[in-house]
Amino acid sequence: MKGQQHVLMSPDFTVDLIDTDETSLPAFINMNIRRADAFVLVYAIDDFRSFE
């Protein structure tokens, strides 16, 4: 995981922003996928490698 984990909370919902990359542990990524209700995928449209 690069950077920091950010948590935004309100009475209605909580948003966890977690930056992962190819060096993140697969177990860490899988744990976050299992507990999430939604995802936002961010990549550079002009750099295919950022989508891999």
Of 42, 2, 51, 1, nearest in space to 25 by CA: 1
CA atoms within 13 A on the CB side of 15: 6
Task: Say whether pLDDT at 19 is over 80.
Answer: no
| Per-residue pLDDT tens digits for 24-47 | 788 888 888 898 888 888 888 898
Q: What pTM was estimated for this model as a whole?
A: 0.47
**Mean pLDDT (the chain, rounded):** 76
- pLDDT the model gives residue 1: 46
- pLDDT the model gives residue 41: 80
CA distance 43 to 51: 6
